[in-house]
Structure 1
Amino acid sequence: MQDSIEQYMQTVGQQARQASRVLASASTQTKNNALSAIYTALQDSEAAILAANQIDMTKGRNNHLDSALLDRLELTPSRFKGMLHGLKDVMNLVDPIGEITDLAYRPSGIQLGKMRVPLGVVGMIYESRPNVTLEAASLALKSGNAIILRGGSEALESNKAIANAIQHGLKASGLPETSVQVINTADRAAVGHLITMSEYVDVIVPRGGKGLIERVSNEARIPVIKHLDGNCHVFVEAQADLQKALPIALNAKTHR
């Protein structure tokens, strides 16, 4: 079983690396066309995605997940619309790739500056929220990166259904379907391979609890973009406009 997981992860990594080379040279229009095609594919797949989410919800209840985790896991029609709205927001973002800053002439007369380029292949490990699958995939595509997504086992069916729609959109737009891949196993060994495949993955982004962050930080052989305990407090300065501060604080701390 371990050998098959390793072989599977090697294949995923190879496919992501190949896709990243195509994405790195993709124009803004091509990337936006892909995101638009994904939007359409998600709309067409709404019933299937919500049905897959109900499978995860049923398993979660049977496994006695606490109410907070179940709330993060659930996709309702209104939350699904929120996901689509977020995808449109990404489509409207300015393409960061190719932006040049800090141009300056050196004493030799050569002009030097910094140009934004894609990272390559991003590996992301996260928990619970299936909407993160779409958020991460869309941001990666907009910035010209391939992405490998490993969601929590509790959201496996939801994530696979969302990924299937994303890949349909990618195929329709002419970009490699393997630009976005969701790990289709809940085996924890897959994480161990993902965070050590330095020949295929350029950066790891863990998003979850302290235990996950610590494991990735300790075991990864790839650069990690991480948080740890997080910033969990809101402070309101004594002279602040309370009419403005109150709705901000309520939204930040009681939204869910």
Structure 2
Amino acid sequence: MSKSIRGIGLVACCAAMIAMVWPSAAPVAGDHIVSNLEPAAITLDVPMAAQQGLPFSPVRLENELDVDQTPRVGLSVPEETGPTLDLAALVGDVADMHRSELEDEMRCLASAIYYEARGESLEGQLAVAQVILNRAENERWPNDICAVVYQSGQFSFTFDGKPDIPAVKGPAWKRAEAIAIIAVGQGWQDVTDKATFFHATYVKPGWRRVKEQTRRIGGHIFYR
């Protein structure tokens, strides 16, 4: 069974939660937008996702021409920039909605986010989650999230002898859970540009010389 098929259920569940709390966060470039306007009279403009989210251009109404090439007068929508989605708001909405215990793989991901990046920005925390997901989709690594997180020697919190879930599940843990849901549900673009490695800015591992650096976000540098 392929990795993509294996993960469909988990992704679908998380995507459904994201769509429920923030429907406008779900579509990406190439998705279809349902409109009650006459199909022949509109053109949809859905650009590639911008760095801070997935904003959309509004539906643009094209002037239609009669047979005699005289422009018909019809509805018009002024061109304006669509609202830019805000990661902090999305994280907050998902955190507010989420009330149940996470399944094992999601809990593994939330733990990695919490212990590796809870002091980072939300984008920085999301980036760590996306590195783990990118590994799980790559044949070089195990094919599930927990196996990636607990692979020998990868994340120090997994072998420091301490619990991998905080005793007090405060706001930082709730954010980590929400970011895990968003990352698995593909509710935000890959801010790492397909990275599968990262390290803190204060260390200089030898492997960095043979990798392509993709991003630097807060206290981490990302590579593929």
- TM-score class normalised by the smaller sequence: under 0.3
| Highest RCO, 1 vs 2 (Cα 8 Å, sep ≥ 6) | 1
Asked which structure has the greater CA Rg, the reply is 2
Q: TM-score, normalised by structure 1?
A: 0.24
Question: More strand per residue: 1 or 2?
Answer: 1
Q: TM-score, normalised by structure 2?
A: 0.27
Question: More helix per residue: 1 or 2?
Answer: 1
